[in-house]
């Protein structure tokens, strides 16, 4: 963790695990100075609990800008770089930067980005991405100069001081130029097959810890038969105990849920819902939906989406969002029929079977703007 460079009265280096408290103090100061950031003052970033474990992931780290020339150097800026959690998105790194107001305009953010990009290339990443408030002209100008491309507006992502705020997704390709892309649409694999048989009773209900064994088998099966999900079959839950813990955790509190579509005693599909982790994102729910191939075109997905609508409305949330691969034309049409709009396109985001796939952000808004 050596210094990357020393210019303009500051140096850039990777954060040391032992300075977690100093880094969190810096984050708190920066959050208090700006309302363009993800967190309210006093909220902690997700890596706060264990900085060493975050950096040990191999594709995630934090860079700091340190004022030079003092006996006790002060941290004046930081940049977190968080690589994808799964095999398919491991090469995409999400960036977030903050600089003390007194150090704005002195090249700190530019130097942090240069260090992060150099590091990301060494780790084998192929894409950098970030989000920025659509009204933050200063940041938009900076990211444009650094080579990030505007990939679309995500509506009402944050609620700040009682008002909705949209954010722009921006991305930069830094590798894998020779890797081919998925076509814009993959033909529907069931178009030329006989119509599916009808199913009997279809029940939508919360998953229970007692469903662990059946859910484990379902999770592995659904991930084995499609390349349209982010987590592959190799990353399925490892055993019944892990499945039981996951389903138990999903029932804690009122901000997460896993619902099952049970057809004639078998799990035909599943729906996961979760709300934003911070005060400014608590009005949004994320959605993950999957249906076993044997149950496609039988209305299972539609019933699950209807259940998601009820869940969102019961909590008076404002936004329901999801990500879908660009080559999954069937799912894109399905979500559009159920009121979701395509908002942003993360170009060449995920590596699937040797080809890079776009990810598309889709969202549905509920209720009027404040």
- Tokens read off for 139: 């940041």
Residue where one domain finishes, among candidates 173, 194, 229? 173
Residue where one domain finishes, among candidates 173, 191, 224? 173
pTM over 0.85: yes
Together in a domain, 11 and 97: yes
For residue range 228-275, list pLDDT tens digits in order: 999 999 999 999 999 999 999 999 999 999 999 999 899 999 999 999
- Tokens read off for 76: 């004046």
Q: What is the 3-state secondary structure (H, E, C) of 229-247?
A: CCCCHHHCCCCHHHHHHHH
182 domain-assigned: no
Is residue 3 very low, low, confident or very high in pLDDT (cuts 50, 70, 90)? very low
321 domain-assigned: yes
| Cα–Cα nearest to 273, from 306, 240, 243 | 306
195 domain-assigned: no
- How many domains does the structure of the chain reveal? 2
Together in a domain, 248 and 346: yes
Together in a domain, 28 and 161: yes
For residue range 33-92, list pLDDT tens digits in order: 998 999 998 899 989 889 999 999 999 999 999 998 655 569 999 999 999 999 999 999
Rounded CA gap, 63 and 55, in Å? Answer: 11
Angle CA 299–233–253, to nearest 5:
65
Together in a domain, 14 and 163: yes
Inter-axis angle of helices 240-249 and 212-224, to 10 degrees? 100
Distances (CA, A) of 146 to 5, 61, 123, 141, 259: 18, 20, 20, 9, 43
Q: Where are the alpha helices (DSSP H) in the chain?
A: 20-33, 51-55, 108-123, 137-145, 212-224, 240-249, 300-314, 329-337
346 within 8 A of 172, measured Cβ to Cβ: no
Together in a domain, 210 and 156: no
190 domain-assigned: no
Together in a domain, 158 and 229: no
**CATH number for 138:** 3.40.630.30
For residue range 194-232, list pLDDT tens digits in order: 555 677 789 999 999 999 999 999 999 999 998 899 999
276 domain-assigned: yes
Rounded CA gap, 364 and 322, in Å? Answer: 9
> Domain limits at 351?
202-365
225 domain-assigned: yes
């Amino acid at each position: 963790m050596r210094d990357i460079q020393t210019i303009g009265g500051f140096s850039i280096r990777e954060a040391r695990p032992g300075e977690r408290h100093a880094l969190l103090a810096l984050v708190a100061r920066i959050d208090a100075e700006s309302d363009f950031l993800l967190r309210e003052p006093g909220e902690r970033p997700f890596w706060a609990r264990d900085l060493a474990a975050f950096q040990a992931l191999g594709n995630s780290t934090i860079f700091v800008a340190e004022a030079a020339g003092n006996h006790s150097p002060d941290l004046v800026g930081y940049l977190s770089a968080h690589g994808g959690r799964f095999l398919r998105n491991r090469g995409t790194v999400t960036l977030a930067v903050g600089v003390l107001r007194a150090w704005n305009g002195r090249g700190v953010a530019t130097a942090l980005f240069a260090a992060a990009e150099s590091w990301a290339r060494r780790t084998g990443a192929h894409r950098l991405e970030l989000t920025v408030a659509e009204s933050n002209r200063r940041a938009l100008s900076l990211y444009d100069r650094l080579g990030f491309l505007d990939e679309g507006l995500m509506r009402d992502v944050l609620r700040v001081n009682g008002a909705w705020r949209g954010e722009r997704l921006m991305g930069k390709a830094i590798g894998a130029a020779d890797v081919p892309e998925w076509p814009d649409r993959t033909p529907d694999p069931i178009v030329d097959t006989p119509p599916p048989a009808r199913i009997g009773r279809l029940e939508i209900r919360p998953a229970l810890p007692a469903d662990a064994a059946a859910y484990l088998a379902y999770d592995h099966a659904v991930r084995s038969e499609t390349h349209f999900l982010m987590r592959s079959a190799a990353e399925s839950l490892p055993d019944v105990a892990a499945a039981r813990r996951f389903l138990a955790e999903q029932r804690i509190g009122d901000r997460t849920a896993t619902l099952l579509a049970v057809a004639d005693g078998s799990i035909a599909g599943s729906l996961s819902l979760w709300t934003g982790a911070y005060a400014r994102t608590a009005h949004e729910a994320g959605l993950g939906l999957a249906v076993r191939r044997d149950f496609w075109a039988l209305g299972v997905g539609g019933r699950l989406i209807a259940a998601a609508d009820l869940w969102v409305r019961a909590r008076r949330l404002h936004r329901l969002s999801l990500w879908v691969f660009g080559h999954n034309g069937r799912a894109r049409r399905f979500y559009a029929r159920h009121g979701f709009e395509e908002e942003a396109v993360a170009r060449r985001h995920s590596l699937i079977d040797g080809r890079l796939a776009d990810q598309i952000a889709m969202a549905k808004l509920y209720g009027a703007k404040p």
